[in-house]
Amino acid sequence: MLSLTSEQKIRLKRINIIKLLVFVGLLTVLGSVLFLINNLFISFLLAFVISYLARPLIAPLERAGLSYNMALIFIFLTGISLIGLLGIWTFPLISQQVNNLQAEWPRYSEGLLNLIEAAELKIKSWLGIEVHLQNKSKDQILYFSQVILKDLPSILLQALSVMLLAPFLAFFMLKDSQKISKRFMMLVPNSVFEMVLNLQYQINQQLGQFIRARFLEAFIVGLVTFLGLTLISFPFAFLLGGFAAITNLIPYIGPIIGGVPAVIIALLNGYQAWDLSLVIGVYLIAQFIDAGILVPILVARIVNLHPVTVVLLIILGGQFMGILGMIISIPVANALKVTSLAVYEHITQFKNRTL
Amino acid sequence: MIDFLWKNFFKTEEKSVEMILKENPLFEDLSKKELRILSHMVHRRSFIPGEFIFQEGKGLGMYIIISGKVGILHGASQGGESTVISQLKAGDFFGELCLAREEGYHHVSAQATEESKLLGFFRPDLLNLIEKNPSTGIRILMKLTEILGERLQKAGEKLSQFKQTRNH
């Protein structure tokens, strides 16, 4: 066996250090660009999600004889026209519901304050403690009023710009993913190359499965909520369905958050027990379909984290990045789990190495 | 000017990768187009003399030698004496057994004995290829089974020879 001379060892070390520096440098540049440009991070995340959702559609088209790039263009053109049609169809609905919400908000905020006042009185009569919920919550409600009355159109516009940028980024992510990942792999030192390649493949697979499953699940839950609320002719069905879909991406806590606005609106509209239970029933049915049908089929095969870990991660994510943090904390944790397991295996298996 | 040089540099390099792949028994049945797709998937790696390409243990795939020499060693990871089983040169390949197994395992170690350039083709690449281009993937797998079958037959013959000599 040939053993390395000290000169060769130094050379190997130098090669690996240069590779590491370039790798870290690239990551730093990419990271700072993402965080410094406003909203780019969200567009990037959304693009990431879109690229994972679109990826499985490419292979069948390639098998049908299209080239990779043609398949990609075909998927994006079809997707954009479908979303465009959906937009034309839903835009009047959304703008009408947003207008309604803006028009009725003053009544709602007043009603909410009344509810809180009633709650204060009840607490006082039951427990004999004086609480001052009103003053604290008044500021919050005033703040929300301003958001809904003034900023909602501009927030929606901002969301639109994020949504326009994301498919553009996603297209190039998919077009050049092989080249980019190969360039990155060139920077990996020989001694850990096979491990890193395997890791990249596994994380890619699991993240892809995870994202596709969760988004399909959220879409179906949102659809069921929308249909159910429309069926009992509840106001803002489309907005509430969309909200339920987004919050459903957060495990355990999300579905509850998703249902809260509907219950508040129902209470403020003076819904009585029967009507209120109908509204809650819609959300419960959506959750039963989710837990009984969707989760066992779609989500159960994915790397499992302990429920306690999941809840802690959601809280942690929420503290750092709000709702977005709550949604992305689980896939990030999954990726970290796969990585650490592989690294651990690598270290324990190769600890008696001679090099 | 630089751009021009850059493009041509890559063009010639890509071409040679396809040629190297074509010369390998595993890929000899593939068409030009398939070879081009494959050439985008394989990984070029450089090794300095004495550097390990892999050591006994978990493995992911095969390497084809573009240039240089590679020694296949037995017992290198135990820290004790290791024996050189064979010396491979440009055009030879090794580690292909790992392509066929989910939990691939290298039973030997491979070490560059000269400055060496290698092409790596790994199980994730093969799985991606099968997903995208099943007929190409199947042709590679057929060749792989052929090579493995041949080797199994030879091993079987050697075993029966060994048994005969022991019985005599």
Q: HEC profile for B97-114?
A: HHHHCCCCEECCEEEECC
User: Contact, A283 vs A255, CB < 8 A?
Assistant: yes
Instruction: Establish if A183 belongs to a structural domain.
Output: no
Model confidence at A207: pLDDT above 90: no
Residues A157, A301, single domain; the answer is no
Nearest CA distance, B165 vs chain A (angstrom)? 33
Mutation target vs A (from B10, B43, B135; most A CBs, 10 A cutoff):
B43
Model confidence at B158: pLDDT above 50: yes
**Does B166 touch chain A if contact means CB atoms closer than 8 Å?**
no
Model confidence at A226: pLDDT above 90: yes
Q: Give the contacts of A114 (CB within 8 A, at least 6 positions apart).
A: none
The tens digit of pLDDT for each residue in A80-115 reads: 899 889 888 878 877 887 788 778 777 777 787 787
Average model confidence (pLDDT) across chain A: 81
Helices (H) and strands (E) in chain A, counts: 10, 0
Phi/psi for B37 (5° steps) reads -60, -45
Residues A213, A347, single domain; the answer is yes
In the 3-class helix/strand/coil scheme, how is A176-212 assigned residue by residue? Answer: HHHHHHHHHHHCCCHHHHHHHHHHHHHHHHHHHHHHH
Exposed/middle/buried for residue B118 (C-beta within 10 Å: 0-12, 13-18, 19+): buried
Partners of A190 on chain B (C-beta within 8 Å) are 45, 47, 51-53
| Encoded amino acid at A14, one letter | R
How far is Cα B95 from Cα A31, in angstroms, rounded to an integer?
37
Nearest to A335 by CA among A195, A200, A203: A203
**Does A67 touch chain B if contact means CB atoms closer than 8 Å?**
no
Instruction: Establish if A26 belongs to a structural domain.
Output: no
How is residue B27 annotated by DSSP? G
**Does B82 touch chain A if contact means CB atoms closer than 8 Å?**
yes
Count of structural domains, chain A: 2
The tens digit of pLDDT for each residue in B76-123 reads: 666 667 788 889 988 899 988 888 887 778 888 899 998 999 999 999
How far is Cα A111 from Cα A119, in angstroms, rounded to an integer?
12
Instruction: Establish if A50 belongs to a structural domain.
Output: yes
Per-residue confidence band for A283, with pLDDT thresholds at 50, 70 and 90: very high
pLDDT recorded at residue A285: 92
The tens digit of pLDDT for each residue in A303-333 reads: 567 778 888 888 888 888 777 788 788 878 8
Helices (H) and strands (E) in chain B, counts: 4, 10
Model confidence at A1: pLDDT above 80: no
Residues A229, A355, single domain; the answer is yes
Model confidence at A250: pLDDT above 60: yes
Q: Give the contacts of B13 (CB within 8 A, at least 6 positions apart).
A: none
Angle at A297 between CA A221 and CA A82, to 5 degrees: 50
Tokens linked to B157: 């013959």
Nearest to A201 by CA among B36, B58, B119, B122: B122
User: Contact, A245 vs A219, CB < 8 A?
Assistant: yes
Instruction: Establish if A3 belongs to a structural domain.
Output: no
Residues A172, A236, single domain; the answer is no
Domain boundary among A146, A177, A208: A177
How far is Cα A247 from Cα A258, in angstroms, rounded to an integer?
6
How far is Cα A5 from Cα B96, in angstroms, rounded to an integer?
30
Residues A265, A332, single domain; the answer is yes
Partners of A11 on chain B (C-beta within 8 Å) are 48
Residues A281, A337, single domain; the answer is yes
Enclosing domain of residue B111: 2-167
pLDDT recorded at residue A59: 83
How far is Cα A17 from Cα B60, in angstroms, rounded to an integer?
24
Residues A109, A253, single domain; the answer is no
Span B136-151, mean pLDDT? 91
Instruction: Establish if A12 belongs to a structural domain.
Output: no
Residues A173, A202, single domain; the answer is no
Residues A205, A348, single domain; the answer is yes
Residues A76, A217, single domain; the answer is no
Helices (H), B2-110: 2-23, 32-41
Tokens linked to A298: 């779609």
Nearest CA distance, B21 vs chain A (angstrom)? 18
Model confidence at A352: pLDDT above 60: no
Phi/psi for A39 (5° steps) reads 70, -5
pLDDT recorded at residue A295: 77
Residues A229, A330, single domain; the answer is yes
Tokens linked to A350: 């190769």
How far is Cα B58 from Cα A346, in angstroms, rounded to an integer?
8
Domain boundary among A177, A199, A222: A177
Enclosing domain of residue A273: 188-355
What CATH number does the domain containing B27 carry?
Answer: 2.60.120.10
pLDDT recorded at residue A355: 41
How far is Cα B86 from Cα A32, in angstroms, rounded to an integer?
50
The ipTM is 0.82
Instruction: Establish if A98 belongs to a structural domain.
Output: yes
CB-CB under 8 Å, A8 with B49: yes
Tokens linked to A339: 């990585």
How far is Cα A119 from Cα A108, in angstroms, rounded to an integer?
16
How far is Cα A97 from Cα A34, in angstroms, rounded to an integer?
34
How far is Cα A189 from Cα B47, in angstroms, rounded to an integer?
10
Partners of A182 on chain B (C-beta within 8 Å) are 40, 43
Residues A156, A228, single domain; the answer is no
Count CB pairs under 8 A between chains A and B. Answer: 84
Instruction: Establish if A6 belongs to a structural domain.
Output: no
| A13: helix, strand or coil | helix
CB-CB under 8 Å, A354 with B76: yes
pLDDT recorded at residue A354: 42
Q: Give the contacts of A225 (CB within 8 A, at least 6 positions apart).
A: A240, A241, A244, A245, A258, A282, A283, A286
Domain boundary among A149, A177, A205: A177
Model confidence at A263: pLDDT above 90: no
How is residue B46 annotated by DSSP? E
CB-CB under 8 Å, B43 with A178: no
The tens digit of pLDDT for each residue in A3-54 reads: 667 777 788 888 888 888 888 888 888 888 877 877 788 888 888 888 888 8
Count of structural domains, chain B: 1
How far is Cα A187 from Cα A21, in angstroms, rounded to an integer?
9
